[in-house]
Amino acid sequence: MTSRTRGPRFALPPHRPPAFTGPLHDARTATALGRWLGAAFAVCFVTGLVSHYLQHPPSWLADDLPTRPVWGYRLTQGLHIATGLAAIVLLLAKLWTVYPRLFTWPPVRSARHALERLSVAVLVAAAVFQVFTGLLNIVEWYPWAFSFVPAHFAVAWIAAGSILLHVAVKAPEIRAHWSRDAAGTLGAPAEETADRRSLLLGVGAAVGVVTVTTVGQALTPLKALDLLAPRHPDHGPQGLPVNRTAAAAGVSAHGLGEWRLEVVGPRPYTLTLAALRALPRTRARLPVACVEGWSVDADWSGVPIRDLVERAGGRPGAAALRVTSLEVVGAYRVMEMGAEYADDPLTLLALTLDGQPLSLDHGFPARIIAPDRPGVLQTKWVHRLEVL
Ligand SMILES: Nc1nc2c(c(=O)[nH]1)N[C@H]1C(S)=C(S)[C@@H](COP(=O)(O)O)O[C@H]1N2
Ligand SMILES: [Mo]
């Protein structure tokens, strides 16, 4: 392993690299952890793409996003956050296993070796960046100058590309150490195998603890165990969490007496709150599924958006909608929804939550609630709809 065994003393390089003798810094351990880490990153990548394209669909897709199942986004985003949190533990374990290679001597043996090391450096940087920014995002702490969403999205591609490259370069080693009795692993001393099993069990237990203490933020049957997630599904006004409060959005009860719903289209009109309340309503049980991982089902009632659109002269099934909030400034003040959402009978301008009028923090007087949509697009404090 070390250069000590390779020839006379005077031939040693001037900076002797540290020697690592622990048997768990080996290819079998790296492969066993790498498989789980790769699986976690794959789920994160795919669910992240789902989240991105639901929020920023390319124009050819904008009117054909799926509105069913109603809990689709709840599931994909719950998985995104759960696998992302698990990946933190797996990444730390994997980095510990391979870190002796950082001290490889000589640092560069050939052009190929240099490229391989460079690709690993990119991979590690991208992976650490993704889990770190993702974690800070779920606690809503942004100690950096860039914008989280575009950065997290761009680096996801770098991470995915460098993982694919890494798997391709390491394919022979991965194959040789894939299973406990694969060629490269057979014949290892029994105590080494036992040590490895303990390490893998420990990592598995840590992943289990992290998952069980956070997943209840979305998987509500486990909410009693949700000790570490930043949001608890029951904590908030009307028993539902709030990401952006009315105060933070600059909306106050003051002045809402003058509130009117303004609907712009071929036949524009305005409605007072009393007039809006008098329209036929629909009830729907739909989740708020926050991109930050928490989600809760609730009973909503309100006026179907498609009724409001039709009344403004919008063509049923063909009209997209722009929704504007009373919010003063904020990234989610204006939201657009494609025709498939605008036309869905479950997409509501909601007036009540669990049978009570919306509280100010949940979007009083009226908010959007639509099936299979990211929470950021469930616009609160709506005052204007434009048929597009
Ligand atoms: N106008 C406006 N609506 C908004 C937001 C916002 O910042 N501004 N935040 C959204 C986010 S991130 C989520 S998760 C949901 C949460 O809804 P709730 O606060 O009623 O639980 O509201 C959405 N509606
Ligand atoms: Mo959210």
C-alpha 270 – ligand 2 centre gap (Å): 29
The answer to whether residue 272 scores a pLDDT higher than 80 is yes
What average pLDDT score do residues 234-260 get?
A: 93
State the DSSP code for 67.
-
Write down the residue that tokens 């979007």 correspond to. Answer: 363
Bigger pLDDT: 187 vs 362: 362
Count of CB atoms within 10 A of residue 215's CB?
A: 23
CA distance linking residue 275 with residue 292, whole number of Å: 36
Instruction: Check pLDDT > 50 for residue 19.
Output: yes
**Arithmetic mean of pLDDT, 65-91:** 98
Determine the pLDDT at residue 3. 46
Mean pLDDT of 300-312: 98
Lowest mean pLDDT of 78-92, 246-260, 347-361, name the range: 246-260
Q: Rg of the chain's alpha carbons, rounded to an integer?
A: 27
Collect contacts of 245-250 with beta carbons under 8 A, ≥24 apart: 245/361, 246/360, 246/361, 246/364, 246/381, 249/325, 249/326, 249/327, 249/328, 249/330, 249/380, 249/381, 250/327, 250/328, 250/329
pLDDT tier at 255, thresholds 50, 70, 90: confident
- The per-residue pLDDT of the chain, averaged, comes to 93
pLDDT of residue 186: 77
Token pair for 74? 């709840």
pLDDT at 350 > cutoff 60: yes
366: which 2 tokens?
Answer: 């009226």
**Are 27 and 173 spatial neighbours (Cβ–Cβ below 8 Å)?**
yes
What confidence tens digit (pLDDT) does each residue in 22-54 have?
789 999 999 999 999 999 999 999 999 999 999
350 lines ligand 1 (CB under 6 A): no
Whole-number pLDDT of residue 10: 55
The confidence score (pLDDT) of residue 133 equals 97
- Residue ranges per domain, the chain? 27-225, 238-387
Please, what is the end-to-end C-alpha distance for the chain in angstroms?
Answer: 68
Which H/E stretch holds residue 321?
strand 321-325
How high is the pLDDT of residue 189? 83
Assign 181 a pLDDT band (cuts: 50, 70, 90).
confident
Band of pLDDT at residue 1, cut at 50, 70 and 90? very low
Bridge partners (DSSP) of residue 182 are none
Confidence of residue 182 (pLDDT cuts 50, 70, 90): confident
What's the pLDDT score for residue 137?
95
Over residues 213-242, the mean pLDDT reads 94
What is the pLDDT at residue 241? Answer: 95
Residue 372 has phi, psi (to 5 degrees) of 55, 50
Q: What is the pLDDT of residue 281?
A: 98
Residue 18: band (very low, low, confident or very high) from pLDDT cuts 50, 70, 90:
confident
Query: What's residue 7's pLDDT?
Result: 47
Binned at pLDDT 50, 70 and 90, residue 9 comes out as low
At residue 185, the pLDDT reads 76
The yes-or-no verdict on residue 195 having pLDDT over 50 is yes
pLDDT value for 14? 63
Q: Is 293 in the pocket of ligand 1 (CB under 6 A)?
A: no
- Atom 20, ligand 1: which residue's CA is nearest? 362
On the CB side of 329, how many CA atoms lie within 13 Å of its CA? 0
Of 217, 244, 364, 369, the residue with max ligand 1 atoms within 8 A of its CB, to mutate for a pocket test, comes to 244
Residue bearing the CA closest to ligand 1, atom 9: 376
User: Distance (Å, rounded) from C-alpha 50 to C-alpha 83?
Assistant: 15
* Distance of alpha carbon 135 from alpha carbon 95, whole angstroms: 18
Weakest mean pLDDT among 123-127, 175-179, 207-211 = 175-179
Give the right CATH number for 238-387 from 3.40.50.740, 3.90.1310.10, 3.90.420.10, 3.30.70.580: 3.90.420.10
Q: How far is the CA of 282 from the centre of ligand 2 (A)?
A: 24
Protein residue with least CA distance to atom 11, ligand 1 = 376
